[in-house]
Structure 1
Amino acid sequence: MIQFKRHLVTAALPYANGPLHVGHLCGAYLPADIYVRFQRLMGKDIVFICGSDEHGAAITMRALKEKKTPSEIINTYHELFQKTFHGIGISFDYYHRTSDPLHHQTSQEFFLNLYNKGAFREIESEQFYDLSSQQFLADRYIVGTCPKCGNENAYGDQCENCGSSLNPTDLINPKSVISGETPEKRKTKHWYLPLDEYENWIKDFIVNGTLDGQEHHDPDLWKNHVLGQCKSWIEGGLQPRAMTRDLDWGVDVPKEIPGSEGKKLYVWMDAPIGYISSTKQWAKEQHKDWESYWKDPESELIHFIGKDNIVFHCIIFPAILKVHGGYNLPSNVPANQFMNLEGNKISTSRNWAVWVHEFLEELPGLEDSLRYYLIKNMPEQKDSEFTWKGFQDAHNNELVNNLSNFIHRVLSLTHKYYKGVVPDFDPDEIIEGVAGDELGGFHDAELIYLFDLIQEVNQHIREYDFRAALKALMDICTAGNQLLQNNEPWKIQKSQPETVEVVMNLALHYVAALSMTMQPFLPFTAIKLRKMLNLPNLNASGELEDMLTKIAEGEFIIEAGHKIEEAQYLFTRLDDELIQKQIDKLHHSENQTIPINSETIMESKHLPLKETISYDDFAKVDVRTAKIIAAEKVAKADKLLKLEIDLGFEKRTVVSGIAEYYKPEEIIGRQVVFLANLAPRKLKGIDSNGMILMAEDADGRLTFISAKEDWYLGSVVK
C-alpha cells in the first residue's frame, strides 16, 4: 500500500436547494467524518473539505417556484447546512460555498487553462428552447420518458429510476418544466470535454489503478459497485461532455473566450472545483500551502460521495484534473449506496424523509444515537433502510443496555470500592482462584487483547468498512463486560481484594480506551465520558496513536491514583410514545405533501397526460390478462427480472424492470395485465416478448394492475 504524507478528504457538496435528510448524512458525510476523526487521532496530516453547491438549474427552478431570487435560496440553505452539520458533529476543517468570488475565480482559471491547451471541442448542437419563456432549457428544465427504462419522469441529464446518464435529446416526449409545453430545438454552441479521446487512460486508471504507466492506487480496494458503474460507462463508450450551459445563474465562461456571452460553466465543471477553492480558503486562513495537498504526489485525495455521483468523481473530474495537469487524482472514491425509509425510497417531493435539522430540534441530546444507528445501517455495499423502530431498538439495546450500563457499572464500582480512585495492584502477586496466574501477567494479557481490538477498529476504518468498525468498537465494550462477568468483583471484593484491584484497573482501561476510540463515531458521548473520567478533551493530534504505543509498551493509559468523577448514565431508554410520535409525523407529512408550483411538472404528484392519440391507434393495442408462472433475477442487472407469462393459449418470456420492488418468489402466480402485441426486443441478451403493465407514481414506484382474481387467462382488456 502506498504511504502518503498528507491526506485531503472531500465530502460531496450538498446542493443548496433543500435541507439534508438521513440519506445524505449516511451517504457521504458520516463516513467521511469517521474516517477523518480517526486519522486525526492517529496523528495523520489530514484536511476535511466541503461546501455548498450553489449553481445549476435546480437552484433557479426553486427560486421560480418560491418567487425568490437564487441568492435568497442559496443563502437560506447554506446557513441551514452549516447549522445542521455542526449540530450532528460533522467536523469539516473548512466549509465553503461555490457562490464565493474565490470559487468563481478558481473555476474560470481552470476553464481558461483547459481552453488554452486546446482541450475543448466547440460543438454546435440542437438543444431544447422554450418559446414561452424564450430561453434554452438546461438539463433539469426538461422532463420526459427515459429511453432505457420507460420512466416517464426522467430529467434531461439523468433518469433517477434506472440511474442512466442522459442527454435532453434522448428523452421521449420531452416537456419544459417551466411552461409544461413541448420545447423546440434550436442550434447553440458549447464547449465539450472529449472524454472519448481519454478513454484509454481513463480505463487504465479505473480498471488497473495505473496512471501514465505508473501504479496510482489499488483498484481492489475500490468498492465493487463503484468499479461496476465506471466500467459500465467505459464499456458503453465515453462521449464528449458539454462543459457549458445556456443559463443566467452560475460561473461565467471567461470573457477572454470568444462567444462566451450568456454562457455559464456546467455545474459538474464548477462544483468539484469547489473542493479546490475551499482548500484555498482554508489554507489562506490557516497560513498553509494549499498546493501541497492537491499537487504533491505524496498527498492522497479521497472523495466521499453517494452512488449517484460516482461517474462525475471517478471519470469526469479526474479527466478535468489530468488535462489541466499538476493535480493529484483520487486514490479512492468510497461511494455509499442509498438509504430507504420505512419500506419506501426517501422522497423529497413527497416529504418522505427524516430531515436532520428537524431531528436535532425535536430530539435534542440524541445526536450520537442517530449517528450510531446510521453507521450501523450504513449502505456501504447495497441499499439499506431507516426505520424508527430500528432506531429505538439500537438505542435501547446497544447504547443503553450495553455501552452505557457497562460504563456506569465500572465507574460506580470504582466509587464504591475505591472512592473514585483508580486502584493500584501488585503485579507480582499470585492469587489462586477467579483470576488465576500472576496478576501482572493477567493484566498484560488483557491489555494486549484490548490493543488488538482497537487495531481491528483501525483496520476496518482504513478499509472504509465503517459498519464493521462500529461493531469492533462495541466488541471493546463487550470484552470489558465479559471481564466483569467472568471475575464478578462484587462477589469477591472482600475475600480477594487483590484480584478485584486488577480487574477494576483493567475495566477502567477498557472505559478509557472507549472514551478515545468512540470519538469518531460518537463524538458528543466521548466528551461526556472523558469528563466523567476526569481526562482532558481530545484535540485530535495523535492521542490514539500515543495510547496504542503505551499499551504496546506495557504502560498504563489511566494511571493508578487518578481520581474520576461521579458515574452518570450516558444514554437512557427511549419510550414507545416518543418513537410513535415520529412515525405519525412521517405519515402525516406524506399525506400533506409540500405545496409545489403547478408549473413544475417534475415534482407534481400526478404525471402529466401524454399527447392525444386517435381511436384507430388505440385499437391496435392488444392487452390481455395473464399470469406469472416463473420468475428469476437477470444476471448483472439489479433492476431486471426474467418472467415466464401464461396467456392461457401460449406462454411468453419477458424481461421486466421490477426487481427493485418485487422479489421473484413473491410474484409467482400473480395475475397481471399484459401488452401482448409489443414488438420483441433484446434486454441483457434475453428476448423480451411483450410487456407487463404497471401503475407508476411520480416517484417511480411500481405496482401491479390486474383483473379480478382467477379471471380467464388471455381475456382481452378493453
Structure 2
Amino acid sequence: MDNSKIKRYTVTAALPYTNGPVHIGHLAGVYIPADIYARYLRSNKRDVKFICGSDENGVPITLKAKREGITPQEVVDKYHKIIGDSFKEFGISFDIYHRTSSQTHHQTAADFFSTLYNKGVFTEEVTEQYYDPTAKQFLADRYITGTCPKCGNENAYGDQCENCGSTLNATDLINPKSTLSGDKPILKETKNWFLPLDQYEDRLRTYIESHKEWRPNVYGQCQSWLNAGLQPRAMTRDLEWGVRVPLRDAEGKVLYVWFDAPIGYISATKELCNYAKLDVWNPKAEEYYINNYEADKCGWEEYWKSDETKLVHFIGKDNIVFHCIIFPAMLMAHGEYTLADNVPANEFLNLEGQKISTSKNWAVWLNEYLREFEGKQDVLRYVLTATAPETKDNDFTWKDFQARNNNELVAILGNFVNRVVVLTHKYFNGVVPTCMEITPTDQAVIDELATYPAKISASIENYRFREALSEVMNVARLGNKYLAETEPWKLIKTDEDRVRTILNIAIQIAANIQILIEPFLPFTADKLMKMLENGGQEWEDAGTINLVKRGHSIGEAVLLFEKIEDTEIDFQVEKLNQSKAANAQPAAAIPAKENIQFDDFSAMDIRVATIIAAEKVEKTKKLLKLTVNTGIDERTVVSGIAEHYKPEDIIGKQVSMIVNLAPREIKGIVSQGMILMAEDATGKLVFVAPVAQFQEGSVIR
C-alpha cells in the first residue's frame, strides 16, 4: 500500500475464545505484537483504532458449558471478564474490547449475511452431516473428533488438526466419534448455505500475490490452499448457540463461527464509534476498555471502507486461512470493504519444550501470572517479545525468563537508568546540568543515538518486533558503554564541567529510551517518565539530546526492575511438574472407609442449592462464608475452599449440599450444612454439581 495515501489504521487482534483464560502462547502470538504496533502508531500521531473482543459463539463455548454443567451465557460472561480484566492489567491498549454476544454484533453479522444472500452469493445445499442419535442433534465441527487423514493424530477435530495444522471437513476424519456421547455418529441430511470459495479463487490469488512482502509462513500457506483448489464451505451450522441465520427456513441454525467472528472486528468498531459520538457513559461500560473516548468522534465506515485506511490483522498461524482466504472472500462478495494490507501471523510458542495444552493445564495463564508476579507485567512483555515465534516455533522456559530479567532488564536497562539518576542527585542535587564542551567521544555517542529511531521504526513497520526491541536495548547498552568509558565518578574531583556534559548526555539517552521503549514496555516507560519528571514527548522527538532541559529537576531513583530469585522460578516449575504428573497417570484412589449401613446413607438429605453470596472469612486463608438458597430456605455455610475459588467467581454456582447436617460454629459463624466437593489429581477442590440447571431444593438420591 502506498504509505503516502494512508490517513488512518485499523489494527485488529484475533478474538480469543471465551472458554478459558489467555495464556502466554496467545500473548506471544497475537496480543503483544499487536499492542506494540498500535502504541507505536499512536506515538507517531497516526489515527489508529485498535480493535478486539471476545469470540463467544464458537462450539468450544458450548462444550465448556456442557462439561461444567452451566449455560453458554454463564461461560462467556465468566471468561469475558477474566480475559478483559487480564488484558487491561497487562497493558494491552485496545481502543475497545467488545464481545460477539452483543446486540450490535448479532445485528451486524446477520445484516452481512443478508447482504450476501440477497446478492445471490450463497448456494443452498442439502448434504449429509454427522448426527449423534444418542444426543439427538447434528454435530458441529468441534463436536467430532477422530484420526487426521494427513498426519494420523487421533485427536483431530472436525474442522482442524491441531497437530499438523491441516484444515479439515468432519467427513475427512477416520474413526469419527461424538464428543457428546462418545458414540460413532451417523450421516443425516441437512440444508446449509455455502460460500462458493472456488468462484473467488482468481481474485484471491491476485490479492495474495500482490502481497509477496507477507511473512513466508502466511504467503506460503495461502499459496498452498490456492494451489490445492478452493471448495465451497458451509457458512451455517445446526446449533442453538450463536448468531441466528436471518432466514425463515433456517430454524435451529446459526452462522458458522468463522463467518461471524471476523465480522466482530466491524461490529466492535461500530460500537466504539457510536459510543464516542454519543459522548455518554454507557451503563455497560465495564464491558469495554476505551481510550480517549471524549475526543474519539469517528465514523466507523472510514476504518473499513476507505482506500486511505490500512487494515492489519494480528493472528496466530492456525487462523491464517480464515483471515487470508475466507474473510477476504466474504469482503469481496460484499463489495464495499477494504482488504487487509498485512496479516502478520506468528508461529507457535512452546512451553518448556512441549506444546502448550489447555486441556492438560500445560500453560502459563495470564491471570495467574499477574497475581503471582505482581507489578512485573513488563518482564513478561519483554521476554515474550525477545523470544517471539515470528518465523518459527519458539520455546518459553522459566529459567530463560529469569535470566533475561536479571541479566538484561536489571543489569543493562535498569542499571543504566539507576546510575544516571543516582549520579545526578549525588553531584548536582537532581538538577540537570548544563552541557559544556562536546568532545569527539560525546559526538560519536550523539550521532549513534540519532540513528536509532529510524532503525526501530523500520523494524516495527515491517513487523519485526524482536529486532526492534533489541535495538531499543542497544540504546541502553550505548548509555552503559558511554558511562563506563567516561567514568564521571572519577572525574568529579578534577573536572566538574566534564561531568556536567557526561550526565547531561546520559540523561538525554535515558529520556530517549523512555520514548522508544513505550510501545514494548509501557509500565517501565511510565516509571521512567515519572523519574525524569519529563513527559509529553512523542516518537518524532527521539534521537536528539534536547529532550530534558538544563536546570530541570528530576525525581529520586526508583528501581525499574528487581531480580527474580530461584525460589520464584522453582515454584512455577513445580506447578508444571504437577500438571505433568497429573496427566502422566491417574492418581491413586484413596482407600475406602469402613462400610456404613444403608440407613446411615438414607438419613442424609442431599439437595441442589445455589450460592447467592460469598465472602472471605477474616483472618483465615481457607474459609469462605457462603449464603445459599436451598429451595427450603436461605442459610449460611462455611466452606474451606478459599484457596481454590474467589468469592466473586462462584456466585450463581449450583452445588450439591447436605442440608440436614447439625449446625456447627466455625470462627464465630454458625455453619448450617456442607457443600460436597471432589479433589482432582492436582489437589484442587472441584464442586460436585448437577450437570444441568435444577430447581433449588431438588433431592439428590
| SS of residue paired to 2:16 | coil
SS at match of 1:300: strand
Letter in 1 for 2:464: D
Structure 2 SS opposite 1:354: coil
User: C-alpha deviations, 1:131-180, integer Å up to 9, x for none?
Assistant: 01111000100111111111111111111111111111111111111011
Structure 1 residue 572, shift from structure 2 partner: 1.4
Q: Secondary structure, in 3 states, of the residue corresponding to 2:176?
A: strand
1:482 aligned partner: 481
CA–CA separation in structure 1 for the residues paired with 2:58 and 2:142:
9
Look up the equivalent residue of 1:572 and give its one-letter code.
E
> 1:562 maps to what in 2?
552
Determine the structure 1 residue equivalent to 2:301.
291
| Matching residue within 229, 237, 252 for 1:237 | 229
**TM-superposition CA deviations, 1:68-91 (whole Å, max 9, x none):** 000000000000011110111100
Identity %: 53
Moved more, 484-493 or 558-567: 484-493
8 A contact 1:122–1:189 mirrored in 2: yes
Q: Out of 311, 316, 330, which is 1:306 matched to?
A: 316
Instruction: Identify the residue that residue 469 of structure 2 maps to in structure 1.
Output: 470
TM-score of the superposition, structure 2-length normalised? 0.79
Separation in 2, partners of 1:401, 1:561 = 29
Structure 2 unaligned blocks of 5 or more = 278-297, 587-701
Q: CA deviation at 1:335?
A: 0.3
- Partners in 2 of 1:491 and 1:362 — Cα distance? 42
| 1:353 shift after superposition | 0.5
Query: Aligned equivalents of 1:321 and 1:412: distance in 2?
Result: 57
Residue 120 (structure 1) shift: 0.4
Among 350, 355, 361, which residue is 2:371 paired with?
A: 361
Which of residues 414, 417, 420 in structure 2 aligns to 1:407?
417
State how 1:92-171 maps to structure 2 within 5 Å.
92-171=94-173
Tell me, what secondary structure is at the counterpart of 2:40? helix
Give the alignment partner of residue 347 of structure 1, picking from 338, 357, 362: 357
Map of 1:527 onto structure 2: 526
2:180 pairs with one of 178, 181, 191: 178
Per-residue CA distance 1:281-325 (angstroms, 9 max, x = gap): 110122211100111110010000000000100010011011101
Q: CA deviation at 1:457?
A: 1.2
Contact 2:515/2:539, CA 8 A, preserved across alignment: no
Aligned pair 1:321/2:331, yes or no? yes
Distance change (3 Å), C-alpha of 1:593 and 1:75: farther
CA deviation profile, 1:608-632 (whole Å, cap 9, x unmatched) = xxxxxxxxxxxxxxxxxxxxxxxxx
Q: Is 1:544 the counterpart of 2:543 in the alignment?
A: no
Tell me what 1:418 maps to.
Answer: 428
The counterpart of 2:245, out of the listed 234, 237, 253, is 253
Q: How far 1:445 moved relative to its partner?
A: 5.0
1:228 pairs with 2:230:
no
- Partner residue in 2 for 1:579: 569
How big is the shift at 1:221? 2.4
Shift of 1:544: 2.2
- Measure, in 1, the Cα distance between the counterparts of 2:504 and 2:480: 13
Q: Secondary structure at the match of 1:220?
A: coil
User: Take 1:266 and 1:497, find their aligned partners in 2: how far apart are those partners?
Assistant: 72
Change in 2 beyond 3 A, CA 1:595/1:31? farther
**Whole-Å Cα distance in 2 between the matches of residues 299 and 2 of structure 1?**
11
Q: CA deviation at 1:494?
A: 2.5
8 Å CA contact 2:159–2:170 kept in 1: the answer is yes
Offset of 1:446 from its aligned partner?
3.3
- CA contact under 8 A between 1:54 and 1:99: conserved in structure 2? yes
**1:56 is aligned with what amino acid?**
G
Map 1:668-707; keep pairs closer than 5 Å. Answer: none
The one-letter code of the counterpart of 1:413 is L
2:401 paired with 1:391: yes
Distance 1:302 1:595, change over 3 A: farther
Q: Which moved more, 1:91-100 or 1:56-65?
A: 56-65
RMSD of aligned residue pairs (Cα, Å) = 1.6
Helix, strand or coil at the partner of 1:326: coil
For 1:367 and 1:436, the matched residues in 2 are separated by: 40
Q: 1:410 touches 1:504 (CA, 8 Å); kept in 2?
A: yes
Q: Provide the rounded CA distance (Å) in 2 between the counterparts of 1:462 and 1:134.
A: 52
Gaps in structure 1 of 5+ consecutive residues = 210-218, 430-434, 597-718
> One-letter code of the match for 1:269?
F
CA distance in 1, matches of 2:243, 2:584: 30
CA distance in 2, matches of 1:144, 1:425: 71
Please state whether the residue corresponding to 2:194 is helix, strand or coil: strand
Residue aligning to 2:582: 592
Q: CA deviation at 1:455?
A: 1.8
> Which one-letter code corresponds to 2:334 in the other structure?
H
The one-letter amino acid paired with 2:301 is: E
In structure 1, the residue matched to 2:632 is none
Please give the secondary structure, in 2, of the residue aligned with 1:272: helix
Partner SS state of residue 33, structure 2: helix
Amino acid at match of 2:150: K
- Residue 498 of structure 1 and its aligned partner are, at CA, apart by 2.2
Q: Is the contact between residue 48 and residue 93 of structure 1 (CA under 8 Å) also seen in structure 2? A: yes
Shift of the 495–466 alpha-carbon distance from structure 1 to 2, 3 Å rule, reads same
Alpha-carbon deviation of 1:331?
A: 0.2
CA distance in 1, matches of 2:88, 2:99: 16
The whole-number CA distance in structure 1 between the counterparts of 2:398 and 2:248 is 56
Which amino acid is 2:37 matched to?
Y
1:151 match: secondary structure: coil
Q: How many residues align?
A: 564
User: What's 1:192 paired with?
Assistant: 194
Is the Cα–Cα contact under 8 Å of residues 453 and 539 in structure 2 kept in the other structure? no
Q: Partners of 2:326 and 2:148 in 1: how far apart?
A: 22
Partner of 2:627: none
CA-CA distance at 1:515 after TM superposition: 1.2
Contact 2:516 2:539 in 1 (8 A): no
CA contact (8 A) 1:349 1:593 kept: no
| 2:255 counterpart of 1:265 | yes
Taking the aligned partners of 1:436 and 1:278, their CA distance within structure 2 comes to 55
Residue in 2 aligned with 1:16? 18
Matching residue's letter, 1:466? F
Assess if the C-alpha contact under 8 Å between 2:17 and 2:55 holds in 1: yes
Assess if the C-alpha contact under 8 Å between 2:212 and 2:219 holds in 1: no
2:685 equivalent in structure 1: none
In 2, distance between residues paired with 1:137 and 1:414?
A: 69
2:418·2:557 contact (CA, 8 Å) conserved in 1?
Answer: yes
Instruction: Give yes or no for contact 1:221–1:463 (8 Å, CA) kept in 2.
Output: no
Deviation, 1:258, is 4.3
CA distance in 2, matches of 1:509, 1:188: 69
Counterpart secondary structure, 1:302: strand
Aligned to 1:216: none
* Cα distance between partner residues in 1 of 2:523 and 2:577: 30
1:381 maps to which of 384, 391, 394: 391
Q: Partners of 1:574 and 1:181 in 2: how far apart?
A: 50
Alpha-carbon separation, structure 2, partners of 1:193 and 1:284 = 30
CA–CA distance in structure 2, aligned partners of residues 363 and 594 of structure 1: 28
Are the aligned partners of 1:350 and 1:594 in contact in 2 as well (CA < 8 Å)? no
Which amino acid letter does the alignment assign opposite residue 523 of structure 2? F
| Matched position secondary structure for 2:346 | coil
Aligned to 1:603: none
**Secondary structure of 1:284's aligned partner:** helix
